Structure 1
Amino acid sequence: MAEHDEVSGVEIELEHVTKKYPGTREAAVDDFSMVVPAGKIVVFVGPSGCGKTTTMRMINRLIEPTSGRITIGGDDALKLDVDTLRRRIGYAIQQAGLFPHFTVAQNIGVVPGLLGWDKKKVTNRVEEMMDLVGLDPADFRDRFPRQLSGGQQQRVGVARALAADPPVLLMDEPFGAVDPITRGNLQDELLRLQTELKKTIVFVTHDFDEAVKLGDKIAVLGNQSSILQYDTPDAILANPADDTVAGFVGAGASLKQLTLLRVRDVELKQDALTAGLDESPAEVAKQLDAQRRHFVLVLDSRRRPTRWVHRRQLASATSLATAGKPLRDIVSLQSTLQDALEAMLAEGGSVPVTGARGEFAGTIELDTVISTIQQLREDHADDHTEEASV
């Protein structure tokens, strides 16, 4: 799928939206107003119980507002038929919420099926979505959710939410239940998809680092979904609006700048020796010896990195498909430099970087990240010097 130049998302506007539950004195959400720009990711971040999930769920009317107005692409959401509204809005939640007795293909095809698409169109769309989220249809189409890892289930959840090509995607702590490495990979995957799809995404999290990584804008919310600050991640990091927001930013704001810088912003090394899965281990050993190198990076038929193999492991290897060790952690061009640093610590050295469709794009080295941190610190010190002299 080629990258879209046009935005497929639409603007969402919430005007004086309030939710008051019967028998309670205080509103759960009180007089909330916000414009979510078309084609952008807006992250709601705040403590548990502050109302962020309630606010998001009012957009697709899983929770009905008590008062106020919500428009989606100019249409009044409260006047639309609720089923019609929800089919225009993708919804992804923690632990994916997949139907356990449906296969992966059936889960992804649910909404297109409800919309009356013919079987062939649904099948084609399911395959396209699986490919888009990095799951091989031949391997995963007929599996059931229990046969998938947590990360794979979340990918299916995102594919299902996007299957009918809705302009709006709501995501409620979708990556909260997986391990940190998988979580980082899923975040990268979402950012990669967004560069292609340009949906309007409202994303709820309690993790400020996740908000900084994913958000075009962040809304830091307090009690009753009061908006403490609504701005770009770098503006919030540089100038927290008050002590509560500063508490969210926390210590090490300069290190958090690493979550604003992407791997695509730094220079990648292009000198790694690579080999295909079907190449002869003996031939690859000769190349390593000739170039006085110790490692080869093995790529699959789609040029996706799969494993590192050390020279000494080639002597007894019958195939590159099983030699060496599988890659535990790969970063993409969308990854943050913090992700890259964590991956290097896990891998114990340089880490392969992948492009838009998982293909090998180069490697990132520890020296590159360290020199970038040093440059950030120098820039930070210069900014403080300028401020002091004003």
Structure 2
Amino acid sequence: MTTDVTGVRIELDHVSKVYPGAKQPAVDDVSLDIPAGEIVVFVGPSGCGKTTTMRMINRLSEPTSGRILIGDDDALSIAPTELRRSIGYAIQQAGLFPHMTIRQNVALVPGLLKWDRQRIAARVDELLDLVGLEPGQYADRYPRQLSGGQQQRVGVARALAADPPVLLMDEPFGAVDPITRSTLQDELLRLQDELHKTIVFVTHDFGEAVKLGDRIAVLGQQSAVLQYDTPQNILASPADDTVAGFVGSGASLRQLGLLRVKDVALESRPSVRHDDTVDQARATIAESDCDWAVVLDDRGRPVSWVRASRLRHTGALADAAEHLDVVSTQATLEDALEAILAEQHASAVVTGPGGRYEGVVTLDTLIDTITRLRREAEEPADGDGPS
């Protein structure tokens, strides 16, 4: 996995936006420094100007005044169409063209950049695989033939098609159900671990901001920057009562959202292949200290689970298989706790790159971690204890 940062720094320098005929600016004198290779989340109430602020970066909304630097380039000195082809853009409900196949949607910007056909075809296959959609199964379908979550994955693939250093995301997961939304958030974090783009992400959901952001810009009316800091610092020390109100009473619970499954130790549990015989599955479980096993597909991805007691009364592994909810290594401990509570084996099955099986996170591990965090939070800092 690469650790190279492919994103570039973005600087908003006293940027404002005044719409014709408006008495007040929609965005008033905003300055922000967005580091290369980080996810910066704009969060704030509806109508505060956060989307307008983001859209000025690729000039979908033209700034009235101020300066925007992308890397070393002044965005206002670049032709808008050229600028937009160099910046990925993903929106709510994906914004796919319904009359185009998935392949044609993803290939759109590389085609405009006049890449050759072979290069475009290879890039489309690479990206669909990267976002977890097998090209042979999905490339020639139309958007209406995909679920909402799958469409959003295609939207991200399309935004990444020309390998832009910057990705703008305007509430991209806001229109899907909570479970799919959590999965898409995990996928974005996994992709960012590999790609290290500079991502500006707009949301009204503070929980989403905590989960995704390396830094969060809490914006007030006219995009006034109320606080710009790491999620940890904002949760621990809101800058004022307005920010504290936005953080809400669930701040202590959201501390669980700051740690990821990859930050805790995973335990191994037996696994079997979906095409194993019942006898093979029984033998695998018998050799372990567990009474159940994870069932994997041909690519090592968990698809179900089986318990030993059900294998005694069936002739086929598929007949004993039970539904399995998984979490990725990018999931938060809060996500893992919800998954554990939904299962019957006091653990959550964890997937890594490519959706492959990594192990399990157990309830005992979460309890130990939470206890340790609480103890560390209660310990006085150096020099603060009694003399």
TM range, smaller chain: over 0.9
Tell me if structure 2 keeps the 8 A contact 1:9–1:167.
yes
Alignment partner, residue 298 of structure 1: 295
Alignment partner, residue 342 of structure 1: 338
Matched, 1:81 2:79: yes
Tell me if structure 2 keeps the 8 A contact 1:254–1:377.
no
After TM superposition, give the deviation of residue 234 of structure 1 in Å.
Answer: 0.6
Tell me if structure 1 keeps the 8 A contact 2:276–2:317.
yes
Which stretch of structure 1 is more off in the superposition, 379-388 or 135-144?
379-388
After TM superposition, give the deviation of residue 383 of structure 1 in Å.
Answer: 4.3
Please, which of 184, 187, 196 is the counterpart of residue 186 of structure 1?
Answer: 184
Q: 2: distance between equivalents of 1:74 and 1:237?
A: 33
Alignment partner, residue 286 of structure 1: 283
Is the alpha carbon distance of 1:275 and 1:379 closer, same or farther for their aligned partners in structure 2, counting shifts above 3 Å?
Answer: same
RMSD, matched Cα: 1.8
Alignment partner, residue 366 of structure 1: 363
SS of residue in 1 equivalent to 2:169: strand
Alignment partner, residue 100 of structure 2: 102
Q: Cα deviation per residue 1:170-192 (whole Å; 9 max; x = unaligned)?
A: 00001111111111111110011
Which stretch of structure 1 is more off in the superposition, 24-33 or 309-318?
309-318
Please, what TM-score do these two structures have when normalized by structure 2?
0.95
Alignment partner, residue 39 of structure 1: 37
Q: Which amino acid aligns with 1:307?
A: S
After TM superposition, give the deviation of residue 76 of structure 1 in Å.
Answer: 1.1
Q: Cα deviation per residue 1:191-246 (whole Å; 9 max; x = unaligned)?
A: 11001100000000011111111111100000000000001111111111001111
Alignment partner, residue 151 of structure 1: 149
Q: 2: distance between equivalents of 1:26 and 1:371?
A: 52
Q: 2: distance between equivalents of 1:347 and 1:144?
A: 35
Matched, 1:248 2:242: no
After TM superposition, give the deviation of residue 347 of structure 1 in Å.
Answer: 2.6
Please, which of 46, 49, 69 is the counterpart of residue 48 of structure 1?
Answer: 46
Is the alpha carbon distance of 1:353 and 1:290 closer, same or farther for their aligned partners in structure 2, counting shifts above 3 Å?
Answer: closer
Matched, 1:353 2:350: yes
Is the alpha carbon distance of 1:291 and 1:41 closer, same or farther for their aligned partners in structure 2, counting shifts above 3 Å?
Answer: closer
Alignment partner, residue 307 of structure 1: 304
* Consecutive unaligned residues in structure 2, runs of 5 or more: none
Q: 2: distance between equivalents of 1:356 and 1:335?
A: 13
Q: 1: distance between equivalents of 2:156 and 2:319?
A: 31
After TM superposition, give the deviation of residue 78 of structure 1 in Å.
Answer: 1.0
- Alignment coverage as a number of residue pairs: 386
Alignment partner, residue 171 of structure 1: 169
After TM superposition, give the deviation of residue 147 of structure 1 in Å.
Answer: 1.1
Which stretch of structure 1 is more off in the superposition, 272-281 or 38-47?
272-281
Alignment partner, residue 136 of structure 2: 138
Q: 1: distance between equivalents of 2:191 and 2:350?
A: 17
Q: Cα deviation per residue 1:94-124 (whole Å; 9 max; x = unaligned)?
A: 1111111111111111111111111111110
Q: Cα deviation per residue 1:316-367 (whole Å; 9 max; x = unaligned)?
A: 555445641232x211111110110111122343111111222111101111
Q: 1: distance between equivalents of 2:384 and 2:210?
A: 25
Q: 2: distance between equivalents of 1:222 and 1:86?
A: 27
After TM superposition, give the deviation of residue 310 of structure 1 in Å.
Answer: 2.1
Please, which of 3, 17, 20 is the counterpart of residue 18 of structure 2?
Answer: 20
Matched, 1:275 2:272: yes
Q: Cα deviation per residue 1:278-311 (whole Å; 9 max; x = unaligned)?
A: 2111221233345464311111122111111122
SS of residue in 1 equivalent to 2:353: coil
Tell me if structure 2 keeps the 8 A contact 1:282–1:315.
no
Is the alpha carbon distance of 1:346 and 1:386 closer, same or farther for their aligned partners in structure 2, counting shifts above 3 Å?
Answer: farther
SS of residue in 2 equivalent to 1:326: coil
Q: Which amino acid aligns with 1:345?
A: L
Q: Cα deviation per residue 1:12-54 (whole Å; 9 max; x = unaligned)?
A: 1111111011111110000011111111100000000000000
Q: 2: distance between equivalents of 1:365 and 1:27?
A: 51
Q: Which amino acid aligns with 1:274?
A: S
Q: 2: distance between equivalents of 1:172 and 1:292?
A: 47
Q: Which amino acid aligns with 1:358?
A: G
After TM superposition, give the deviation of residue 129 of structure 1 in Å.
Answer: 0.1
SS of residue in 2 equivalent to 1:171: strand
Q: Which amino acid aligns with 1:184?
A: S
Is the alpha carbon distance of 1:355 and 1:180 closer, same or farther for their aligned partners in structure 2, counting shifts above 3 Å?
Answer: same
Which stretch of structure 1 is more off in the superposition, 312-321 or 113-122?
312-321
Q: 1: distance between equivalents of 2:306 and 2:79?
A: 57
Please, what TM-score do these two structures have when normalized by structure 1?
0.95
Q: Which amino acid aligns with 1:353?
A: V
After TM superposition, give the deviation of residue 5 of structure 1 in Å.
Answer: 2.4
Is the alpha carbon distance of 1:24 and 1:308 closer, same or farther for their aligned partners in structure 2, counting shifts above 3 Å?
Answer: same
* Consecutive unaligned residues in structure 1, runs of 5 or more: none
Alignment partner, residue 88 of structure 2: 90
Alignment partner, residue 257 of structure 2: 259
Which stretch of structure 1 is more off in the superposition, 349-358 or 32-41?
349-358
Q: Which amino acid aligns with 2:372?
A: Q
Is the alpha carbon distance of 1:139 and 1:316 closer, same or farther for their aligned partners in structure 2, counting shifts above 3 Å?
Answer: farther
Is the alpha carbon distance of 1:383 and 1:255 closer, same or farther for their aligned partners in structure 2, counting shifts above 3 Å?
Answer: farther
- Between the aligned residues of both structures, percent identity stands at 62
Tell me if structure 2 keeps the 8 A contact 1:298–1:320.
no
